[in-house]
A and B are shown apart, each in its own frame.
Chain A
Amino acid sequence: AQSVTQPDIHITVSEGASLELRCNYSYGATPYLFWYVQSPGQGLQLLLKYFSGDTLVQGIKGFEAEFKRSQSSFNLRKPSVHWSDAAEYFCALLTDSWGKLQFGAGTQVVVTP
């Protein structure tokens, strides 16, 4: 069965500190993976995506993610967070070629001064 797990419901990080959000997936074929960010009351914005090739993927807003097949993981990282990074982050798995997505439950990120 296909699934996406985000183990951390809530993370608090100080401004300027590094951030890592975890995502684990279960899928029987080559996974196509995404990270989205959502500000309160807004839609989802794509941060980055992994389809194949390099396992370290660069995205917008200074984010990057590393795909590790052996660990079934696709963790999102940012070296130094800004207050504007406070948001909810979703990991998603593409489950068909038409764009059907399986989402994790999300991780809420709070940034403290």
Chain B
Amino acid sequence: DGGITQSPKYLFRKEGQNVTLSCEQNLNHDAMYWYRQDPGQGLRLIYYSQIVNDFQKGDIAEGYSVSREKKESFPLTVTSAQKNPTAFYLCASHNEGPITEAFFGQGTRLTVV
């Protein structure tokens, strides 16, 4: 079945460490997105990529980095510069028009300990 796989489901990080969240899709979608979810704030866009080897900052990119070396993969690194990284992270993909919809992974819960 086609879909988006995020791993791990739960991740614990010590302060000062970088961690990388994995996102893989086999939907052959061009565009991929990373969102951060905090209670009461909905989903906020961190980074997005519309084509391999290209990506753009979203609304809250500070403290995060991404790469897009393959169409199927869009990993997110949460760096030590991110002041409040504890959150639920969602990856999504979408194919350019005709308009369809975004498909979401099951998320990664990151906790700083």
Q: A interface vs B, CB < 8 Å?
A: 6, 9, 32, 34, 36, 41-46, 49, 51, 90, 94, 97-101, 103-106
**B97–A106 touching, CB < 8 Å:** no
Q: B interface vs A, CB < 8 Å?
A: 4, 6, 30-31, 33, 35, 40-45, 48, 50, 88, 90, 92-97, 99, 101-102, 104-107, 109
SS class, residues of chain A in contact with chain B: loop
SS class, residues of chain B in contact with chain A: strand
* Contact among A32, A44, A46, A98 with B96 in the assembled complex (CB-CB below 8 Å): A98
**A97–B101 touching, CB < 8 Å:** no
* Contact among A49, A90, A99 with B42 in the assembled complex (CB-CB below 8 Å): A90
Q: Which residue of A lies closest to B101 (CB)?
A: A46
Give chain B nearest CB distance to A37 CB in angstroms. Answer: 11
- Name which of A44, A51, A94, A97 has the most chain B CB atoms within 10 A of its CB: A44
